[in-house]
Amino acid sequence: MKYPPFVDLLALCRSVNLTNKRKKLNHVILQAWRAEACLGDLLQAKDCCAIIRAKVNNKVEKFGSDDQTIVKALLTSAVGLYARATSTSGKAEERGSIQLDRKKLSKEQNEDHSFLVSLRNHALAHVNPAHKVGDRLWHKVVVFAVPNDQGHLQPAAMTHETSWSRETLECLERMLPISINFLHQNFVEKLKAISKALTMRR
């Protein structure tokens, strides 16, 4: 087959009969797409962290309301992107992740990875009021009552949610270079696999 100057490989695989060889090509193309997309998540998370870092004053950890909203949104996004790229699972029609090789991580790196994934699962994607970062609850839930003008107890409730965590930012800054390097190598390997599949004798 003589290919045109530009070939949409995913479209090509969908348009031909999936013989065994074509199925292999389709598989490696999807693997390359997954690696590239996961790498993109990590690079975006890195950009989020860079903006947070630029806003952080090493002596003052209090932000105005606008900056607090920005930092909270960026930190939540960065943790979510990290977990989506390196840990979360996906259904058959979803992209999924490319999980890190935990055996190649040090004890400290494994702890950092688990910290970020746990934070995403228990405090950001869901609300577990028992989840802590250090000795601080991420969601502090209070249900209380105060007397009204008639002397009856009036119930109320509140949740105090963490918006800024230096520990989380530093953990991301340690793990992102490692995971980006891993995903980049994985992506390059998948591209080589596509090249090999394309040049196989038909």
What residues does each domain of the chain span? 9-198
pLDDT at position 27, please?
83
Question: What are the start-end ranges of the H helices in the chain?
Answer: 9-15, 20-55, 65-86, 107-119, 166-198
Residue with the bigger pLDDT between 12 and 133: it is 133
Distance CA 87, CA 93 (A): 17
Q: Is the dihedral of CA 64, 76, 105, 132 positive or negative?
A: positive
Is pLDDT at 26 greater than 90 in this prediction? no
Residue with the larger pLDDT of the pair 78 and 165: 78
Mean pLDDT of the 34-44 span: 96
The residue ranking higher by pLDDT, 10 or 120, is: 120
Buried/exposed 131-154: b ≥16 CB within 10 Å, e otherwise: bebeeebbbeeeeeeeeeeeeeee
Q: Pairing mode, if any, of strands 153-161 and 136-137? A: unpaired
**74 touches 52 (CB < 8 A):** yes
Model pLDDT for residues 173-185, shown as the tens digit of each residue: 999 999 999 999 9
Check residue 58 and give its pLDDT: 54
pLDDT of 168 reads 96
Position 21 pLDDT exceeds 90: no
Q: List, for residues 101-149, the tens digit of each pLDDT value.
A: 999 999 999 999 999 999 999 999 999 999 999 888 999 999 999 999 9
50-59, pLDDT tens digit by residue? 999 998 865 5
**Average pLDDT, whole number, for the chain?**
88
Question: Which pLDDT belongs to residue 70?
Answer: 92
In angstroms, the CA 137 to CA 161 distance is 8
